[in-house]
Structure 1
Amino acid sequence: MHIVGIGTATPSNRYTKSECLAAFRNSDWFDRLDARAHFVATTVLQRDNGIDARHLAVDALDEVFAIDPDMLASRFLRHAPQLAAQAAQRALAHAGLEPAQIDAVVVSTCTGYLCPGLSGHVVERIGLRRDVRAFDLVGQGCAAALPNLMLGEALLSSPGCEHVLSVCTEVCSAAMYLDNDPGVLISACLFGDGAGAAVLSRRASPHGRCIAWRAGASLMEPAQRSALMFEQRGGMLRNILTRAVPALAADYAQRVLHKVLEPRGLHTGSIGTWVMHAGGRDVLQALEQRLELQLGDLRYSAAMLREYGNLSSAFVYFVLEAALADAAAPGWWWLSSFGAGFSCHGALLEVD
């Protein structure tokens, strides 16, 4: 399998940490929450948490604090199809392909639910064929991009499938929830809205760089499910984020990496470019330490986190796009995502 096109999209409105903190202090929610909650939110939004700003699907920040099931569902329905279609169109343009050339589409999300699913909206908005094979993947959280790509790889091995469109779209502002729990508050300060897409093909692109998917692997530990997950409360999604996440992410990322590299006689030093889900600043630091990386190895992940925040499943498309835009050196690249489950996935790419 080859990745022949990449595209990303975000809402147009960008909000800094200081703007978010001011909006929180001016909201009704500030008086509803206790002093500890004020301290947590203020600390996260004032310190260097690795994030400068986020793009959110709201016209003004006070909309974020209008939290009820109907409002959040409406926000997801309005923005998720739009973001997914924009990213997909940009990926197709990068690949130099027309919509009619796509034989299958796989769409992932965890921040909202539609039936019929998001795939139908993508088919309609970008003009895919009506006989396209369409799949919707839900409930995989921040890790979803790699399972999405793995399904694309499987589809490309089936008869009559030459090109697959992979899309991850998340409207995290449509999964907003606030209470006094520190993990809930930190989540509200970390996540942004956006979509990423990739065009997958059996053959390399005739123009541009060759990005070949050589091998992938996954690990899941359901016993750690409660460390990072959504739960339903009051008809809304409530994100559970625990202190164990950075260590879990680093542990599983290392195990998946070794599972792929060791049979091929490769090691961590063989990887020239790292395309990693960030999660947050603490997660990046844990990854750097556990994998014994050099300063700057995770620069693309850090840069995307600083500009966009945690985009959940869409994040790694932004990191891959950034590495390509920077003309990162050819050789072995490592692509990895992790999240709810607790799950972790990785893939070895050969890029020329």
Structure 2
Amino acid sequence: MYFRAIGTATPVARYTKAECLEAFQRSDWFARLDARAHFVARSVLQRDNGIEARRLALDSLDEVFAIDPNTLAQRFLATAPALAAQAAERALAGSGLAAGDIGAVIVSTCTGYLCPGLSGYVVERLALRADVLAFDLVGQGCAAALPNLQLAHALLASDSCEHVLSICVEVSSAAMYLDNDPGVLISACLFGDGAGAAILSRQPKPAARCIEWTHSTSLIEPTQRQALKFESRDGMLRNILTRAVPALAATYAQQVLATVLGRAGLCTADVSAWIMHAGGRDVLLALERAFQLKAEDLRYSAAMLREYGNLSSAFVYFVLEAALADEAPGGWWWLSSFGAGFSCHGALLRVS
């Protein structure tokens, strides 16, 4: 399987963490939450948390504090199809293919639910073939990009199609929930809205940089499910985020890396570019320690986190796009995501 093109999309509105804190302090929610909640929000939004800004599908930050099931569901419906299609259009434009060449489309999300699913909206907006294979994957959280790509790999390997459109789209502003729980508040300060897409093919794009998917593996540990997940409360999604997440991410990411590198007969020093889901600043630091890397090695993940926040499943498409735009050196690249479950996935890419 080869990556022919990457596309990304975000809402236009950019909000800094200082603007987010100011909006929170003037909202009705500020008085509804306790002093500890105020301290947590101020600490996260005033200190160096690795994030400077986020893109949110809001005309004003005041809108984020209208938290009710109908408002959030409408925000997802209005935003997710548009972002998914925009990222897909950009990937398609860079692939050298026409819409009719796409034989399968796979869409992942965890921040909202539509039936019929998002894949149908993408088919409509991009004018894909009526007989395109369409798959909607839900419930995999921040880790979803890799399972999405693994399905694309299986479809291509089975000769079911020649070209697959992979999309991850998250409207975190449509999964907003506030209460006095520190994990809930920290989550509200970390996540942004965005979509990433890739065109995957059985053959590389002619006269272009060759990005080949070679080996991958997954690790799922259900006993750690409570560490990171969504729960349904009051008809809305409430994010459960615990202090164990950075250590879990580093532990499982290291195991996945060791498994795949072992199969390929490689070591960490052979990896020339790291395409990692960030999670947050503390997660990046934990990964750096576990992999025995320098901060510079995770610069693409850190840069995307700083400018966009945690984009959940869409994040690694932004990191891969950044590495390609920077003309990162070829060789072996490591692509990895982790999240709810607790799950972790990794793939070894050969880039030339």
TM-score (norm 1): 0.99
Q: Name the residue aligned to 2:62.
A: 62
Amino acid at match of 1:101: D
Give the secondary structure class of the aligned counterpart of 2:37: helix
Superposed, which structure 2 residues align to 1:48-59 within 5 Å?
A: 48-59=48-59
Q: Name the residue aligned to 2:125.
A: 125
106-115 vs 262-271, which moves further: 262-271
- RMSD between aligned alpha carbons? 0.5
Q: Name the residue aligned to 2:186.
A: 186
Structure-1 separation of matches of 2:313 and 2:157: 24
Q: Name the residue aligned to 1:102.
A: 102
Q: Name the residue aligned to 1:294.
A: 294
Structure-2 separation of matches of 1:86 and 1:262: 38
Q: Which stretches in structure 2 are left out of the alignment for 5+ residues?
A: none
Q: Name the residue aligned to 2:141.
A: 141
Give the secondary structure class of the aligned counterpart of 1:57: coil
Q: Name the residue aligned to 1:165.
A: 165
Structure-1 separation of matches of 2:182 and 2:151: 35
Superposed, which structure 2 residues align to 1:1-352 within 5 Å?
A: 1-352=1-352
Give the secondary structure class of the aligned counterpart of 1:238: strand
Structure-2 separation of matches of 1:278 and 1:295: 12
> Matched residues, percent identical?
74
Amino acid at match of 1:195: A
Amino acid at match of 2:219: L
Structure-1 separation of matches of 2:102 and 2:196: 17
Give the secondary structure class of the aligned counterpart of 1:298: helix
Could you list the per-position Cα deviations for residues 203-253 of structure 1 after superposition, in whole angstroms to 9, with x for gaps in the alignment? 011032100000000000000000000000000000000000000000000
Structure-2 separation of matches of 1:115 and 1:106: 15
Amino acid at match of 1:118: L
Give the secondary structure class of the aligned counterpart of 2:346: strand
Structure-2 separation of matches of 1:208 and 1:13: 33
Structure-1 separation of matches of 2:188 and 2:21: 11
**How many Å apart are 1:335 and its aligned residue?**
0.1
Structure-2 separation of matches of 1:305 and 1:219: 24
Could you list the per-position Cα deviations for residues 112-143 of structure 1 after superposition, in whole angstroms to 9, with x for gaps in the alignment? 00000000000000110010000000000000
Could you list the per-position Cα deviations for residues 276-306 of structure 1 after superposition, in whole angstroms to 9, with x for gaps in the alignment? 0000000000000001012300000000000
Structure-2 separation of matches of 1:201 and 1:170: 24
Structure-2 separation of matches of 1:57 and 1:175: 12
**How many Å apart are 1:194 and its aligned residue?**
0.1
**How many Å apart are 1:95 and its aligned residue?**
0.8
Structure-2 separation of matches of 1:208 and 1:2: 11
Could you list the per-position Cα deviations for residues 165-223 of structure 1 after superposition, in whole angstroms to 9, with x for gaps in the alignment? 00000000000000000000000000000000000000011032100000000000000
**How many Å apart are 1:157 and its aligned residue?**
1.7
Could you list the per-position Cα deviations for residues 58-81 of structure 1 after superposition, in whole angstroms to 9, with x for gaps in the alignment? 000000000000000000000000
**How many Å apart are 1:263 and its aligned residue?**
2.2
**How many Å apart are 1:160 and its aligned residue?**
4.3
Moved over 6 A (4+): none
Give the secondary structure class of the aligned counterpart of 2:296: coil
